Amino acid sequence: MNSEDFFESISQQYKRKLPFVAYRKRNVNTIKAILQQDFELYISKDFKENGFVFAPFDDKDNTVLIPLEKSELISIENAISELFVIPSKADKPLGSAQLISSKDNKQDHINLLQKGLEAIDSNQFQKVVLSRQETVSNSETNPISIFKNLLNIYLSAFVYIWYHPKVGLWLGATPETLLKIEENRFSTMALAGTQQYNGTFDVEWNNKEKEEQQIVTDYIVNSINGIVNDLKISEVETIRAGSLLHLQTKISGTLKTEAINFKRLLRKLHPTPAVCGLPKETAKAFILNNESCDREFYTGFLGELNTNHSELFVNLRCMQLKNNKAILYVGGGITKDSIPENEWNETLNKAKIIKRVL
């Protein structure tokens, strides 16, 4: 199958209002698509199914499954050179989408950040991740074109387009792996801290960002204690995701055979402090009670679910398309050293990056 046939197949799937997902993993050339052959809404019960899962931030809500047994699988290899960026209009550059509304204006979000800092000062939790929405114009009526833009711009991210007529249409390019399992080999990452990439990886990280990174790393290591043997923790390194830099620690090991329970493992890891906070349940309750918007699938997870091989990613740098509008989701981690004005600017930078494809 060539690239023209591949993209035409997923375009026809969308026109017929049939569920599908198309995606490319980090730093690879293969683009895959799973095309569901009926209109049913399937739910993952125990994460023992084979297919592609799309999970919300709040694990009390259902995880949607596109089952392999009900789907057609297609793929293309070495497709990057065949793709090209398609601007929304010839006279409009990428990133020309205009802000329509913000669920939180600056002062509203600053107030939310301040409330989070007050909760940290009163020892309710050590860290909390707070987010907001922006709604922007989207003159591009074909979401496949936006998906192509994502593929071109974000080579080092997990890039996807996901659609179900009973749920909605989502696209994203996330740099963060939730977990990867091959047979009994386990790997994940701790990702935190954000700053602009200005042509060099030789940058200074402040104490707030270093502390945030260590919180995420410690939480993951403690969560998998007793489940993983031969635990390996890498040195902290600076990585690039699009035009942003992050701190990353790689964590890997061997799952104990008697302890392998995929659903249990997911419940321990999701949501991580990188998207929720610590302690997890207290921070999560604060988010659900105080954020002005429903995160839905933002900061949930998505990816391949199989018996011997699963690879799941945290749903960051994402958008939901509705009625020629794009709803963007952005946020950042708050610790005792956070400065609200800086945190607001971080959300502006993240929103700007997502807008590049519109």
How many angstroms separate the CA atoms of 312 and 65, rounded?
A: 13
Which is higher by pLDDT, 216 or 171? 171
Minimum mean pLDDT among 70-79, 208-217, 231-240, 285-294: which range? 208-217
Is 349 in contact with 332 (CB distance < 8 Å)? no
Structure token digits, residue 275: 């998207």
Instruction: Return the CATH architecture of domain 3-83+97-355.
Output: 4-Layer Sandwich (3.60)
Give the mean model confidence (pLDDT) for residues 116-123: 97
> Has residue 173 got a pLDDT over 50?
yes
- Which residue ranges make up each domain of the chain? 3-83+97-355
CA-closest candidate to residue 41, choices 171, 167, 168, 170: 167
Instruction: Output the CA angle 183-188-193, nearest 5 degrees.
Output: 170
Q: How many other β-carbons are positioned within 10 Å of the β-carbon of residue 90?
A: 5
Give the mean model confidence (pLDDT) for residues 120-133: 95
User: In this predicted structure, what is the pLDDT of residue 349?
Assistant: 86
Name the band, by pLDDT with cuts 50, 70 and 90, for residue 192: confident
> Has residue 86 got a pLDDT over 60?
no
Q: What is the mean pLDDT of the chain?
A: 88
pTM higher than the cut 0.95? no
Which is higher by pLDDT, 65 or 226? 65
How many angstroms separate the CA atoms of 202 and 199, rounded?
A: 9
